[in-house]
């Protein structure tokens, strides 16, 4: 399933742009989770490149993309080429690269995940381990980071109610 979701769209090609070490972090989310919003620019400030493909809210949570799209004019969907250009372009008229971008799966990048994600929410399969895993990893494989940190939550406000479920994920 994960491989099919990756192949449903474009995969990042970093060969032309030569970004610095590419790192990403994925959170399983939960009520009040805002780690990505703080971590992406912080890590980028150290010269690392942070290509982050995030998700919308599922079930009772608000996703990173939902939070960002509450900002008037914020755009979350980009093609792979636009994503790379956004991430690696100079910012604010300086020569420094932006080095961090948080985007949503689009019709060009992981479109199958975008569809499956919406279905999970309405079919009560948000906590399905195979669907969680394929959703998370399809986005990360399409980004092609050099390093990845998985922030797996558990407890109240999370999809995984106990540590055992989180460890299994």
Q: Is 146 a catalytic residue?
A: no
Q: Is 21 a catalytic residue?
A: no
Q: Measure the CA–CA gap between 142 and 157, rounded to whole angstroms.
A: 28
Residues 26, 67, 114, 153: which is the catalytic one? 26
Backbone angles phi, psi at 111, to 5 degrees: -65, -30
Q: Is 120 a catalytic residue?
A: yes
Q: Which among 10, 18, 39 is positioned nearest to 102, based on CA atoms?
A: 39
Q: Measure the CA–CA gap between 169 and 158, rounded to whole angstroms.
A: 13
Q: Is 135 a catalytic residue?
A: yes
Residues 120, 134, 138, 153: which is the catalytic one? 120
Residues 22, 67, 114, 139: which is the catalytic one? 139
Backbone angles phi, psi at 50, to 5 degrees: -120, 90
Q: Measure the CA–CA gap between 68 and 3, rounded to whole angstroms.
A: 28
Q: What is the DSSP letter of 1?
A: -
Residues 67, 113, 114, 140: which is the catalytic one? 113
Residues 135, 138, 140, 158: which is the catalytic one? 135
Query: Catalytic site residues?
Result: 26, 113, 120, 135, 139
């Amino acid at each position: 399933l994960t491989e099919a979701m990756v192949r449903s769209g474009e995969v990042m090609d970093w060969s032309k742009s030569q970004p610095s070490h590419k790192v990403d972090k994925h959170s399983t989310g939960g009520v009040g989770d805002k780690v990505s919003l703080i971590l992406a620019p912080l890590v980028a400030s150290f010269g690392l490149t942070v290509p982050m493909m995030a998700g919308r809210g599922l079930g009772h949570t608000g996703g990173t993309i939902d939070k960002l799209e509450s900002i008037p004019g914020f755009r979350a969907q980009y093609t792979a080429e636009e994503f790379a250009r956004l991430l690696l372009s100079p910012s604010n008229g300086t020569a420094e690269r932006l080095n961090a971008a948080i985007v949503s799966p689009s019709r060009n990048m992981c479109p199958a995940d975008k569809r499956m994600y919406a279905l999970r929410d309405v079919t009560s399969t948000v906590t399905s381990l195979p669907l969680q895993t394929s959703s998370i990893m399809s986005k990360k494989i399409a980004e092609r980071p050099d390093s990845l940190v998985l922030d797996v939550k558990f407890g109240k406000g999370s999809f995984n109610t106990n540590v055992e479920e989180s460890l299994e994920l």
